[in-house]
Amino acid sequence: MTPREFSKAIGEHPDVGGVNLDCCTTDPDVLWEIGRYIEKNPVKAARVLFKWRPEGYVRATRDLGRYAENKATAMRCRLPGGTGVVAAQGYELICDRIYDELPAFARW
C-alpha cells in the first residue's frame, strides 16, 4: 500500500478524533493492508491520522494498526469457508481491548 492508497483507504476524517476503522471499509483485505502499512510506516501513518500530533500519537497509530489487522482477521473468519463465528469473536475481543486502551484522541 502506498501513502496515497493509505490516505484513500482511511477516507476523510476530522482533524480531531480517530479514524473509524469499523466503518472505513467492508473489505478485510483493505483493512489488513491498512494495518500492514501502519506497521511498516508508523510515523508517516501517524502524521496522516493525527495532523495536530498529540502526545502519544505514534503509539496510538501502532495500536490502530493492530486493531485493523485483528478486525480484518475477524471479518475473514466470518466469511464462507472461514474458521467461524467463535474464532471471529475471539479477534473481536482483542479489538475491544485495543480500543479500550486507546487514548481519547484516537477513539471514534
Query: For 26-84, what is each residue's pLDDT tens digit?
Result: 899 999 999 999 999 999 999 999 999 999 999 999 999 999 999 999 999 999 888 89
Q: How confident is the model at residue 23 (pLDDT cuts 50, 70, 90)?
A: confident
Grid-cell match 491498512, residue found: 34
Question: Do residues 73 and 29 touch, judged by C-beta distance below 8 A?
Answer: no
Give domain limits for the chain. 3-106
Give kind and range of the element (H or E) at residue 3: helix 3-10
Contact 64, 18 (CB under 8 A): yes
The set of cell numbers assigned to 54 is 498529540
Amino acid at 67: Y
Instruction: Decide: 79 and 58 in contact? Cβ < 8 Å.
Output: no
